Structure 1
Amino acid sequence: MYVPPAFREDDRAALHGMMRDARLANLVTATAEGLVATPLPLFLAPEEGPHGTLYGHLARANPQWKLPPSDEAMALFTGPDAYVSPSWYPSKQEHQKVVPTWNYVAVHAYGPVEFFEDADRLLEVVTRLTDLHERPRAKPWAVADAPEGFIRAQLRGIVGLRLPIARLEGKRKMSQNRAAADRAGVAAGLAASDRASDRAVAALIPG
């Protein structure tokens, strides 16, 4: 990923936070048959390894887990993004030398991927992933709420994955390269949008 210095994010805690906020990732592997990608919810175990370890699962029918990767796998996490109109820059009135751009948040996690079929490990992954996303609900659903035999049967239809992160790349492109007045103009323009994602980006633009 191309990351100019103004947009680089190197703080481990910040990168982990961006990954958690993204919720859905794309797992990409390079194989003898070409690139393969699958959108997946993953959870991060930050205490495992220098950069943390990712866990998730994919359908057993998905051929990606059967195709040996030729190198590291990559998990792509994307956060809020928004189109930035040059009309929001006060500097437009001064010299007209402005163009549209896009603001966004992205994290790329690289590492060797392991696929596994062990039922107990799968149950742990499914339980942790479910608990993560059910926890905020007033009445959380738990894997244990379903009959054990039913859950065991469902586990036979998936394959687990573990990706110990060898390196992380983070990019937070939020108009940091613009003057304060231009940043304020972008934030105001996005804050007035009907799109929730635009308003989320507005809140991330530095003052």
Structure 2
Amino acid sequence: MTYLPPHFAELDAATLHALVRAHPLATWVVQHQGELLVNHIPLLLDEQQGEHGTLLGHVARANPVWQALASGATSVAVFTGPQAYVSPNWYPSKHAHGKAVPTWNYATVHAHGVPQAIDDPARVLDIVTRLTQVHEASQALPWQVADAPADYIASLLKAIVAIEIPVQRWVGKWKVSQNRPAADQQGVAAGLRGQGSELAGQMASLVQQRILS
């Protein structure tokens, strides 16, 4: 379960999917025989596959996690978006009465589902190809799977197992200062922009969006 105060809950599917696409490296946690198997893998969201979409990826065949899936193990893939430290000095209210402490802002998406291991070579190749196309799209000269020798690709495909996670439930948590007065929210957005980093700027935008909504 996720601690999720109502004012931090993000329910819009398009917003959740956008974070997954922008930050595809998931912390994937699988429950198996009383243990938690934790892996970090990029996952591709196919919004058209299944009621709530399906996440696609792959792991090394040497990784025991895929064998654990035969028992119908439950799992959650955690996608972490912008995050930033928030100083109480950014709150106008702090300067008025001093009653403020530091906190941390973040946006995360949890995708719950029962994963499946895919060992069919054609389906594994399809998932690898789709992942490649998405992540090479921004390159000036996108690399394609077909650029490598066919026998080389065939040998590498034998060394991996594809993963499909039909999503049963999405949980979005946007902790972006919604619990503060508007003046404090404005102060946080300005303070974050003043940090000068891209990540802080992204969080400043999320804070600002919630003030305007």
TM-score (norm 1): 0.96
- The one-letter amino acid paired with 2:24 is R
Give the aligned partner of residue 118 of structure 1. Answer: 120
Deviation track 1:148-180 (CA, whole Å, cap 9, x = no partner) reads 111111111111000000111001111111111
Shift of residue 196, structure 1, vs aligned partner: 2.4
Unaligned runs of 5+ in 1: none
Give the aligned partner of residue 199 of structure 2. Answer: 197
SS of 1:47's equivalent?
A: coil
Does residue 12 of structure 2 align to residue 11 of structure 1?
yes
Cα RMSD, aligned residues only: 1.3
Give the aligned partner of residue 164 of structure 1. Answer: 166
Distance 1:164 1:21 in 2: 20
Distance 1:71 1:128 in 2: 25
Distance 1:165 1:183 in 2: 33
> Which contiguous aligned blocks of 4+ residues in structure 1 show a shift greater than 3 angstroms?
68-71
Give the aligned partner of residue 128 of structure 1. Answer: 130
- The one-letter amino acid paired with 1:5 is P
Give the aligned partner of residue 83 of structure 1. Answer: 85
SS of 1:199's equivalent?
A: helix
2:72 touches 2:114 (CA, 8 Å); kept in 1? Answer: no
1:122 touches 1:155 (CA, 8 Å); kept in 2? Answer: yes
Structure 2 CA distance for partners of 1:190 and 1:138, relative to 1, 3 Å = same
Distance 1:30 1:193 in 2: 39
Residues 31-180 of structure 1 mapped to structure 2, 5 A cutoff? 31-32=32-33, 34-68=35-69, 71-180=73-182
Distance 1:168 1:134 in 2: 27
2:55 touches 2:167 (CA, 8 Å); kept in 1? Answer: yes
SS of 2:77's equivalent?
A: strand
Unaligned runs of 5+ in 2: none
1:75 touches 1:108 (CA, 8 Å); kept in 2? Answer: yes
Shift of residue 186, structure 1, vs aligned partner: 0.7
Task: Give the count of matched residue pairs.
Answer: 207
Shift of residue 130, structure 1, vs aligned partner: 0.5
SS of 1:149's equivalent?
A: helix
Shift of residue 33, structure 1, vs aligned partner: 5.2
Deviation track 1:43-75 (CA, whole Å, cap 9, x = no partner) reads 000011221000000111111112245642111
1:44 touches 1:54 (CA, 8 Å); kept in 2? Answer: yes
Does residue 169 of structure 2 align to residue 185 of structure 1?
no
TM-score (norm 2): 0.93
When structure 1 is superposed on structure 2, of 62-71 and 107-116 the one drifting more is 62-71
SS of 1:99's equivalent?
A: coil
Identity among equivalent pairs (%): 48
